[in-house]
Structure 1
Amino acid sequence: MTEKSYLQKIDEHKGIILKVVNLYADDLEDRKDLYQEIVLQSWSAYARFEGNSKFSTWLYRISLNVALTFLNKSKKATQLKQNSIQEIAFEPQELSERADFLYRAIKQLAEVDRSIIMLHLDGFDNAEISEIIGLSKGNATVKLHRIKQQLTTILNRK
């Protein structure tokens, strides 16, 4: 698996990384740092990607794990290694008013709940969500139902 194939896959699926970054980092510098950390960690793990799941599923799992770890570490705790992978630039997305409203509501959820609803909104079914998050399918289904209720409450308050 070459760096070129990795970069192509990342370019095709950068929307996944951007969604995770926008939900788990608040300011621009943190989003840039988290984006770079996800790219670096996924590159480190790419040689072990066997294709048993879709690339998007694999990338979501890595992105979410990195984001959750990132939240628990102090800012700037680790420096990125200097290599060509670091050259992948973070491009901030301009969100529509509706998307921004939804992102703000989702950010009020617990960290794992953000992951679950994001995967659901991206079209993953409950079995895929449970695989990525590491929950049983039944637990993922129940959590998703409760998250939807919570989001409805949050969105109706505004």
Structure 2
Amino acid sequence: MEEKLEHQFVSNLEKHQNIVHKICRMYTNDQESHNDLFQEITIQLWKAYPRFRGDSKFSTWMYRVALNTAITLYRKSKKDIRTQDFDDVSFRIKADEYNDETEQQLKLMYKAVKELSDIDKALVFLYLEDQSYKDISETLGISEVNARVKMNRIKKALKNILNP
């Protein structure tokens, strides 16, 4: 039974691991922190997996566990984290794929999102992942109406941050 459970877990994790990587990118600034957070989320997912009842999609459950883990660790270690700023990292992108204006806009957007509260950051992440408000509400444990209202407020806040 344990072997079957492990196989199902590994299969689901491999299928949806991009969710965890995206969350790690949202809450860390360097590769070492990203790897540590990815490992911690994987451990928490494995510990919680026997209690996954299948009432929701695996990906929805995974978002919830991963975001809760990231938020908890982020709050615990906020004062101790030494990270490399995103601007200091150099990327190798083919010249035809690189658009400086788009890159600058993305940097500004990420900077603005990092100013939001942990829960608002998670809501933006799920919204940008094209999750439905129903899935967002399930993942964050809030009502669908509350998710919509919060997202509208966040959009206004981001506009104010980006266009002072």
* Range into which the TM-score falls when normalised by the shorter chain: 0.7 to 0.9
Q: For the residues of structure 2 that align with 1:56 and 1:150, how far apart are their CA atoms?
A: 28
Q: For residue 48 of structure 1, what is the aligned residue in structure 2? A: 51
- Pair 10,101 (structure 1): closer, same or farther in 2 beyond 3 Å: farther
Q: For the residues of structure 2 that align with 1:19 and 1:60, how far apart are their CA atoms?
A: 10
Deviation at 1:154, TM superposition (A): 2.9
Q: For residue 136 of structure 2, what is the aligned residue in structure 1? A: 129
Q: Name structure 2 gaps, 5 residues minimum.
A: 81-90
Deviation at 1:99, TM superposition (A): 4.5
Q: For residue 40 of structure 2, what is the aligned residue in structure 1? A: 37
1:136-155 correspondence to structure 2 within 5 Å? 136-155=143-162
Aligned length: 140
Q: For the residues of structure 1 that align with 2:144 and 2:122, how far apart are their CA atoms?
A: 15
Q: Deviations over 1:118-156 (max 9, x none)?
A: 111112122221111111222211100011112223334
Q: For residue 61 of structure 2, what is the aligned residue in structure 1? A: 58
Q: For residue 85 of structure 2, what is the aligned residue in structure 1? A: none
Deviation at 1:100, TM superposition (A): 4.4
More helix by share: 2
User: Which piece of structure 1 moves more, 127-136 or 63-72?
Assistant: 127-136
Q: Name structure 1 gaps, 5 residues minimum.
A: 78-93
- Pair 8,103 (structure 1): closer, same or farther in 2 beyond 3 Å: farther
The DSSP-based 3-state class of the residue aligned with 1:73 is helix
Q: For residue 103 of structure 1, what is the aligned residue in structure 2? A: 110
The yes-or-no answer on 1:13 pairing with 2:20 is no
Q: For the residues of structure 2 that align with 1:142 and 1:23, how far apart are their CA atoms?
A: 22
TM-score, normalised via structure 2 length: 0.75
Q: Which amino acid aligns with 2:16?
A: H
The yes-or-no answer on 1:24 pairing with 2:27 is yes
Alpha-carbon RMSD? 2.3
* Identity among equivalent pairs (%): 41
Deviation at 1:32, TM superposition (A): 1.3
Greater C-alpha radius of gyration: 2
1:51-90 correspondence to structure 2 within 5 Å? 51-74=54-77
Q: Which amino acid aligns with 1:66?
A: T
- Pair 65,32 (structure 1): closer, same or farther in 2 beyond 3 Å: same
